[in-house]
Amino acid sequence: MRDIIKNKLTDRALVHKVLNGETHAFAVIISYTESLVAQIVFKMISNEEDKRDIAQDIYLKAFQKLDSFRFKSKLSTWIAQIAYNTCINYLEKKKLIFINYFQTDQENEAERFDRIAGFSMDDTESDFSRHELAGILKMEINRLPTLYKILVTLYYNEELSFAEIAQITELPEGTIKSYLYRSRKILRENLLQKYKREEL
């Protein structure tokens, strides 16, 4: 994920302020991590009311556990791990299969189409626009297995490194690379099968 300016305060300075009673500094932490947290929650949780409750729970946990943060990663990565685990715990408790919401803007989705699905616009021979291709890709991503969806989101949309994703999901980097490869393969096969080459 792109680095966000946090009022020129480092992670260490922000944490220090919060732990020393300047709780308004936690609002700054929320402001620069809420996009990543929202991506995780929206990809994993379908119920609208539960999304809000889970987001609040994530930040409550982060606030309560802030003194255990040891600066071995970005603060945003640490909070993303809390978000991921909170969502997993919710799904396990509810025994639910979540629905993915790929809520990035259409232009950026279109630009990512080539990288994710392995196509290039030179391969297409129709009047489909990039926006139409992005819409098709969104639908196919929604059909991916749960873990694949969140990995695709973190890597392609949030642009996190393999190391950051490994910390968030507690999966080995090699496994993440393997799953992303499989995700691309599934997407490409499904796209080719459901949408004839002349339509793409």
- The CA distance from 6 to 70, in Å, is 19
CA distances from 148 to 80, 88, 154, 155, 174 (A): 17, 14, 10, 11, 14
* Structural fold of domain 11-94: Rna Polymerase Sigma Factor; Chain: A (1.10.1740)
The encoded tokens of residue 123 equal: 């391969």
pTM beyond 0.75: no
- Which residue would you say has higher pLDDT here, 126 or 133? 133
- The CA distance from 70 to 77, in Å, is 12
**Which pLDDT value is given to residue 8?**
57
- Between 13-22, 57-66, 105-114, 146-155, the lowest mean confidence (pLDDT) is in 105-114
Beta carbons of 108 and 87 less than 8 angstroms apart: no
- What residue segments make up the domains of the chain, in order of their start? 11-94, 106-194
Mean pLDDT of 162-181: 94
CA distances from 136 to 13, 154, 162, 186, 187 (A): 44, 20, 26, 14, 10
List of residues 6+ apart from 26 with CB closer than 8 A: 18, 59, 63, 66
Q: Is residue 51 predicted with pLDDT exceeding 50? A: yes
Decide yes or no: CATH 3.40.50.2300 for domain 106-194: no
The encoded tokens of residue 23 equal: 């709780």
